[in-house]
């Protein structure tokens, strides 16, 4: 009889941190107490000696004796096996470490539909693989599902004919709370810092030295920056946060999946990263854009991003306990032909199973069912991120008539003018500090950030402050031209001279009015 006690104890120890342990306790109670009593009353246990023995124990209130009876224990063991079959494997490691996920869609506006679609899909993957909501933190503006431009209110899809990924997604930080300083406080577990900024309490990553953290970011980017609705997250800020977390033993390993233009620039030349137990993959190298995909002529937008769609469709397909991060990286790298998917940091972490970061439950994800047709390859209609707005307007023009069509044509002309004026701004800055003929040189020059980030950061902040008309955080074309400022700063041109040039051009440029 003791072997059944061992089975029960082992199961309870492995499941006790799961919310489903209460379900197990209830079923156990019914099996070993109420069920035998009801069976006794209806004489269903009086057909053989074994059941009569249990019945006699129950009649005389010898509950402990009845509990130890082989028949009762066998029923209890059967109960355990049934509950175990229904319960997902808990999102914890054998050493007691827990899994955390921080999912961020940094953009706003309906034309950036794809970023929130990516993050909603990512939520369902980590949730279905066993990470509980209390350890999943979602940051997104939440202006897509019920946007007036969305012909299907409350519906967000991430692939053609895909399921609605919006329901159930936590809204931990939305609207104006979507800020880089809040992101850093959440990542580093600074609950007091979040409350000081927002005036309310919010979820943060309260991780320890045995925990594993998965961070997924989908948005626009530029050289050494990831973009939030009104502010930038700078490369050096992210590095400092990671170093602080490592010093404070806030994780065992951490993995970043970053979808953004020039996202490789956030981790390139960060040599210390390989000693900080961090592994990162990015949608693009430091010098190129990422690509949107799955144009939808009904919704008039793009449903996903090539890199994000590829890693998530792989996660939907594969057994994450058997696939390593390296395996997934190679799949995504081979499938993403529109940009160069990169890996950085401690590459030994890539040999670990994907389940160590996305959750270790073996339950199927929201997307994958055997009967579902495979979605089309995302690169078939992929578009560089800075051209997505243009493609959306061209979709609207082709599907409209009369005054509405003329309105969209005017919007397209304004977009082209904005691109022209953005380029003129940066070309004028080059002319102020060097020579206008060197503009293409500073655009195409390979990017190499030094340790001193102050020149570049101040140049970007001045551009945002003095040229609000450029709307830099919402202008993906201008974001790509920030490499001009970065390369000027890395060319031994005095920082003060660059800043004066930015101020001078901003005072005259039409786009800054």
| Final residue of a structural domain among 349, 379, 409 | 379
Q: Does residue 292 share a domain with residue 324?
A: yes
Residue 83 CB neighbours (<10 A): 20
Q: Does residue 418 share a domain with residue 345?
A: no
Structure tokens at 332: 């995504």
Angstrom distance (rounded) from CA 55 to CA 36: 8
Residue 435 CB neighbours (<10 A): 10
Q: Does residue 258 share a domain with residue 375?
A: yes
SS3 assignment, position 193? helix
Regions of the chain where pLDDT drops below 70: 1-95, 362-374, 376, 379
Whether 203 maps to a domain, the answer reads: yes
| Final residue of a structural domain among 31, 53, 86 | 86
DSSP, residue by residue, 259-324: ESTTGGGGTTT-GGGGGTTEEEEESS-TTS--EEEEEETTTTEEEEEHHHHHHHHHHHHS-TTTSB
Q: Does residue 428 share a domain with residue 302?
A: no
pLDDT of residue 314: 95
Closest CA to 171 of 220, 98, 110, 105: 105
Q: Does residue 375 share a domain with residue 475?
A: no
* 175 Cβ contact list (under 8 Å, min separation 6): 141, 142, 143
Angstrom distances, CA of residue 479 to CA of 65, 186, 220, 286, 419: 75, 26, 8, 13, 11
Q: Does residue 366 share a domain with residue 338?
A: yes
Q: How crowded is the C-beta side of 203, counted as CA atoms within 13 Å? A: 16
Q: Does residue 46 share a domain with residue 177?
A: no
Q: Does residue 122 share a domain with residue 254?
A: yes
Whether 389 maps to a domain, the answer reads: no
Closest CA to 77 of 129, 184, 5: 5
Q: What is the pTM of this model?
A: 0.82
Whether 363 maps to a domain, the answer reads: yes
Active-site annotation, residues: 220, 261
> Which CATH number do you get for residue 472?
1.10.132.130
Kindly provide the b/e burial profile for residues 307-340, where b requires at least 16 CB atoms within 10 angstroms of the residue's own CB: bbbbbbbbbbebebeebbbbbbbebbbebbebbe
Whether 393 maps to a domain, the answer reads: no
- The most distant pair of C-alpha atoms in the chain lies apart, rounded to whole Å, by 101
| Final residue of a structural domain among 36, 55, 86 | 86
Closest CA to 309 of 139, 140, 486, 165: 165
Whether 160 maps to a domain, the answer reads: yes
**Beta bridge partner(s), residue 282:** 258, 342
State the distance between the two ends of the chain, measured CA to CA, in whole angstroms: 84
Whether 445 maps to a domain, the answer reads: yes
pLDDT of residue 363: 59
Q: Does residue 226 share a domain with residue 203?
A: yes
Q: Does residue 406 share a domain with residue 343?
A: no
Backbone angles phi, psi at 203, to 5 degrees: -65, 140
**Beta bridge partner(s), residue 226:** 221, 233
Q: Does residue 427 share a domain with residue 352?
A: no
3-state secondary structure 42-57: CCCCCCCHHHHHHHHH
Angstrom distance (rounded) from CA 163 to CA 317: 15
What's the total number of domains in the chain? 3
pLDDT of residue 347: 96
Question: Which 8-state DSSP code applies to residue 6?
Answer: H
**Sheet of 212-218, strand order:** 136-140, 99-105, 212-218, 253-259, 278-282, 342-345
Cα R_g (the chain), whole angstroms: 28
pLDDT 10s digits, 436-488? 899 999 999 988 888 789 999 999 999 999 999 999 999 999 999 999 999 99
Whether 151 maps to a domain, the answer reads: yes
Which residue segment(s) compose the domain that 13 sits in?
A: 2-86
Q: Does residue 75 share a domain with residue 110?
A: no
Whether 467 maps to a domain, the answer reads: yes
Structure tokens at 126: 């980590």
SS3 assignment, position 207? coil
């Amino acid at each position: 009889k003791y072997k059944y006690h061992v089975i029960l104890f082992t199961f309870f120890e492995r499941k006790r941190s799961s919310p489903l342990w209460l379900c197990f306790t209830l079923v156990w109670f019914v099996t070993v107490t109420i069920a035998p009593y009801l069976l006794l009353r209806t004489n269903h246990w009086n057909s053989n000696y074994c059941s009569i023995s249990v019945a006699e124990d129950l009649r005389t209130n010898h509950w402990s004796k009845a509990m130890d009876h082989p028949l009762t224990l066998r029923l209890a063991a059967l109960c355990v096996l049934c509950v175990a079959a229904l319960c997902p494997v808990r999102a914890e490691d054998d050493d007691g470490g827990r899994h955390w996920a921080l999912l961020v869609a940094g953009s706003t506006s309906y034309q950036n539909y794809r970023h929130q679609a990516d993050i909603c899909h990512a939520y369902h993957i980590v949730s279905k693989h066993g990470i509980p909501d209390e350890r999943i933190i979602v940051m997104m503006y939440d202006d897509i599902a019920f946007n007036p431009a969305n012909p299907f209110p409350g519906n967000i899809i991430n692939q053609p004919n895909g399921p609605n990924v919006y329901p159930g997604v936590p809204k931990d930080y939305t609207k104006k709370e979507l800020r880089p300083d809040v992101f850093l406080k959440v990542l580093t577990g600074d609950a007091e810092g979040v409350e000081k900024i927002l005036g309310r309490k919010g979820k943060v990553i309260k991780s320890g030295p045995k925990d594993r953290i998965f961070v997924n970011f989908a948005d626009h980017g530029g050289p050494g920056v990831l973009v939030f609705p009104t502010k930038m997250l700078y490369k050096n800020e992210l590095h400092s946060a990671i170093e602080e977390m490592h010093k404070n033993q806030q994780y065992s390993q951490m993995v970043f999946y970053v979808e953004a233009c020039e996202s490789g620039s956030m981790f390139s030349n960060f040599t210390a990263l390989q000693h900080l137990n961090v592994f990162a993959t990015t949608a693009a190298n430091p010098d190129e854009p990422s690509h949107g995909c799955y144009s939808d002529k009904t919704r008039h937008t793009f449903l996903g991003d090539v890199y994000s769609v590829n890693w998530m469709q792989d996660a939907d397909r594969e057994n994450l306990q058997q696939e390593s991060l390296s395996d997934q990286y190679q799949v995504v790298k081979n499938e993403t032909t529109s940009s160069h998917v990169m890996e950085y940091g401690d590459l030994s972490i890539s040999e670990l199973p994907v389940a160590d970061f996305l959750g270790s439950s073996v339950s199927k994800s929201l997307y994958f069912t055997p009967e579902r047709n495979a979605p089309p390859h995302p690169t078939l209609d992929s578009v560089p991120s800075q051209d997505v707005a243009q493609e959306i307007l061209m979709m609207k023009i082709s599907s409209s008539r009369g005054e509405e069509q003329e309105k969209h044509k005017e919007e397209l002309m304004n977009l082209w003018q904005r691109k022209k004026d953005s380029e003129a701004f940066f070309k004028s800055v080059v002319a102020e500090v060097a020579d206008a003929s060197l503009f293409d040189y500073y655009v195409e020059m390979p990017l190499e950030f030094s340790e001193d980030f102050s020149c570049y950061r101040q140049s970007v902040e001045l551009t945002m402050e003095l040229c609000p008309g450029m709307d830099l955080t919402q202008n993906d074309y201008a974001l790509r031209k920030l490499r001009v400022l970065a390369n000027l700063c890395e060319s031994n041109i005095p920082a003060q001279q660059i800043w004066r040039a930015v101020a001078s051009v901003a005072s005259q440029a039409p786009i800054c009015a």
